[in-house]
């Protein structure tokens, strides 16, 4: 099996990026090539193992992934962010799971959501943002009609089917990735903060009929997990961006492809519940500034649905 590791970066991850490169070099199945897609205008990082090749592309979480990958000459691709550590048998285990379970796409479970406390689990469930599922022997992550996601609370097996995942790492054939036309979703990079692009990518794969799954207990480490969330200004941008994203995602990927009248009505109730709960909880807490941010995000979201940019996007149909 030959594969190319493709990394998106701004070149600023420092030691974390070096750890990723070192762990790629230690794989039991080494990559045929390492191609790093760096944003235009950024200097090349000093970290190296002497095997990587750099390609300048437009800046953006989607723009740096929604490429044609003409530089890739292998059948398989390992997509990576620049702040991960991979155990030496990581790719070998990904590929084995892909073949054994007859999959098109596989991604490791980077964020252990199943380890959430009961209190955190309850609050996330009430908000419609994320829900724990128990006694599910088939699914890992699923997309909810609130545009949130649900997760397997007790992942006993190593592989579960999934509809979404973390976008920092996944493994698939180049031809399968190109099927989803991710370049159609470049509107995401115009948001205040890049959030949700991974859910769009994976759920689009699901709608297009690609079989995907989550590999649990893979040993991967996200070296930057949570470090940047301490900035309050950034947290506020995330609140607004998340609401905007969920409105757009809900309409484009959940409501529009659905043709059953009663299901469409239920979809509206679900997104309405999510938005109203978010406003209510900020009102109860007396968070005037956050409440204002949420209201403005809702207005921007529904305004975007009526914009020429959105209306001219290719329609999504289930396959």
Q: How does residue 225 score in pLDDT terms, banded at 50, 70 and 90? A: low
Phi-psi region for residue 217, left (φ > 0), alpha (ψ -120 to 50) or beta?
Answer: left
Contact, 197 vs 230, CB < 8 A? no
So what CATH class is 3-222?
Answer: alpha beta
Q: How does residue 230 score in pLDDT terms, banded at 50, 70 and 90? A: low
Q: How far is CA 253 from CA 135, 228, 317, in A?
A: 27, 29, 9
Token pair in block for residue 247 = 């409105």
What gap in Å lies between CA 274 and CA 270, rounded to an integer?
6
pLDDT of 236? 79
- Residue-wise pLDDT tens digits, 144-184: 999 999 999 999 999 999 999 999 999 999 999 999 999 99
**Percentage of residues of the chain with pLDDT beyond 90:** 88
Question: What pTM, to 2 d.p., does this model score?
Answer: 0.93
Q: How does residue 209 score in pLDDT terms, banded at 50, 70 and 90? A: very high
Q: How does residue 227 score in pLDDT terms, banded at 50, 70 and 90? A: low
- Residue-wise pLDDT tens digits, 249-261: 999 999 999 999 9
- Residue-wise pLDDT tens digits, 49-98: 999 999 999 999 999 999 999 999 999 999 999 999 999 999 999 999 99
Please name every residue paired with 85 in a beta bridge, in sequence order, or none if there are none: 221
pLDDT of 193? 77
- Residue-wise pLDDT tens digits, 111-135: 889 988 888 899 899 999 999 999 9
State the average pLDDT over residues 194-214: 95
Q: What is the mean pLDDT of the chain?
A: 94
Spell out the domain ranges in the chain: 3-222, 229-311
Q: DSSP class of residue 139?
A: B
Q: 269 φ, ψ to 5°?
A: -60, -40
SS3 (DSSP) at 221: strand
């Amino acid at each position: 099996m030959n594969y190319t590791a493709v990394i998106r970066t701004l070149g600023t991850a420092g030691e974390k990026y070096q750890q990723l490169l070192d762990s790629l070099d230690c794989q039991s199945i080494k990559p045929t090539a390492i191609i790093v897609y760096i944003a235009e205008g950024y200097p090349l990082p000093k970290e190296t193992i002497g095997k990587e090749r750099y390609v300048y592309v437009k800046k953006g979480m989607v723009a740096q992934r929604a490429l044609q990958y003409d530089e890739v000459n292998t059948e398989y691709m390992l997509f990576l962010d620049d702040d991960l550590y991979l155990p030496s048998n990581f790719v070998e285990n990904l590929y084995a799971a892909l073949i054994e379970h007859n999959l098109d796409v596989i991604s490791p479970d980077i964020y252990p959501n199943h380890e959430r406390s009961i209190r955190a689990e309850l609050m996330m469930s009430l908000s419609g943002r994320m829900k724990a599922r128990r006694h599910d022997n088939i699914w890992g992550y699923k997309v909810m009609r609130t545009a949130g996601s649900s997760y397997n609370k007790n992942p006993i097996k190593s592989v579960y089917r999934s509809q979404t995942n973390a976008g920092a790492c996944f493994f698939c054939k180049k031809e399968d990735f190109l099927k989803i036309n991710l370049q159609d979703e470049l509107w995401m990079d115009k948001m205040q903060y890049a959030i949700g692009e991974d859910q769009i990518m994976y759920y689009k794969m699901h709608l297009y009929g690609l079989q995907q799954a989550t590999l649990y207990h893979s040993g991967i480490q996200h070296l930057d997990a949570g470090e940047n969330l301490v900035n309050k200004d950034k947290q506020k941008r995330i609140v607004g961006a998340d609401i905007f994203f969920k409105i757009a995602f809900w309409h484009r990927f959940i409501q529009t492809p659905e043709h059953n009248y009663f299901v469409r009505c239920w979809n509206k109730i679900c997104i309405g519940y999510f938005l109203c709960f978010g406003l209510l909880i900020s009102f109860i807490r007396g968070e005037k500034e956050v409440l204002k941010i949420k209201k403005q995000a809702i207005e921007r979201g529904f305004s975007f649905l009526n914009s020429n940019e959105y209306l001219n996007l290719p329609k999504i149909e289930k396959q």
